Amino acid sequence: MFYNKVEICGIDTTTLKTIPEKEKTMLLEKAQKGDKIAREKLVMGNLRLVLSVIQRFSNRGENLDDLFQIGCIGLMKAIDNFDTSHDVKFSTYAVPMIIGEVRRHLRDNNPVRVSRSMRDTAYHAMQAREKLSNEMNREPTIEEIAKELGKEKSEVVVALESIVEPVSFYEPVFSNGGDTIYLMDQLGAEESDGDWIDEISMKEAIKNLPPREKRILSMRFMKGMTQTEVANEIGISQAQVSRLEKSAINTIKGE
């Protein structure tokens, strides 16, 4: 499900209706007394509200169908806990509840668990960076941010890195026609004392390749060079290195 489609979780959003405030208050009172029909009407009448909230999270790479369902849980909690005696619109109360439920889901399902204190330090560091940027008319250094917060530089660095979303090795970083370069293509391989058997196997596998392809594979997988380093060494583009490398590997697989 994508942001600009009108159907989410099987619901056509163009058919969603809203409820006037007076009727909403009446339904809330009935729902909190156990009226299931009133509760269902309230949920259906506020799905547009849930949709508007989860669109704020559309750039997280999460499935919006899942976030919509999580948002509906927040909506139902708001329906159960809203105090109708207060002079506050239901939406004013419901929006933070829905946002909180979505954020809790994103936090609990993050592949890397980050402590609350570290997350707070990261958020304070971002606020300090924005403040210093406005004051200094330039991007502040980590040392300046740490001084502003009264914390060690290493503590600020670790905190900021902890909230960065993990990136897949197969994340495309460049594409030119059919030549796609992935993050893993820009990483060198670490050397190991136990790799000599693999090196012998590689030499045997590439001996029938053309000289340039043979050189590229040797530099990439024996010397652990990145595609950029290979490109600079040979004098061709990284995209060409990527294409020749893939062609050579396919040839080896074919044999």
pLDDT tens, 15-40?
667 788 788 888 888 888 888 898 89
Q: Is residue 65 one of the residues assigned to a domain?
A: yes
pLDDT, mean of residues 187-199: 52
Number of domains composing the chain? 3
Say whether both 142 and 179 belong to one domain: no
Say whether both 77 and 59 belong to one domain: yes
11 by Cβ neighbours in 10 Å (0-12 / 13-18 / 19+) ranks as middle
What pLDDT is recorded for position 175? 58
Domain containing residue 130:
116-162
pLDDT, mean of residues 92-106: 85
What pLDDT is recorded for position 52? 84
Say whether both 151 and 238 belong to one domain: no
Say whether both 190 and 241 belong to one domain: yes
- Encoded tokens for 197: 């058997």
The answer on pLDDT for 246 being more than 80 is yes
CA atoms lying within 13 Å on the CB side of residue 73: 11
Distance CA 97, CA 172 (A): 36
- Encoded tokens for 214: 């043979």
Q: Supply the mean pLDDT for the chain.
A: 77
pTM, 2 dp:
0.42
145 by Cβ neighbours in 10 Å (0-12 / 13-18 / 19+) ranks as buried
What pLDDT is recorded for position 249? 82
Q: What is the bridge-based pairing of β-strands 172-176 and 179-182?
A: antiparallel
E-assigned strand segments in the chain: 7-8, 11-12, 172-176, 179-182
Q: Does 205 or 114 have the greater pLDDT score?
A: 205
Say whether both 78 and 130 belong to one domain: no
Conformation bin of residue 172: beta by default, left when phi > 0, alpha when psi is -120 to 50: beta
Q: Is residue 2 one of the residues assigned to a domain?
A: no
pLDDT tens, 36-61?
898 898 888 888 888 888 888 777 66
DSSP assigned state of 162: H
Q: Is residue 195 one of the residues assigned to a domain?
A: yes
Say whether both 156 and 184 belong to one domain: no
14 three-class SS: helix
Distance CA 65, CA 239 (A): 37
Spell 14-25 as b/e; 16+ CB within 10 A means b. eebeebeeeebe
Q: What angle do CA 135, 137, 138 make, to 5 degrees?
A: 115
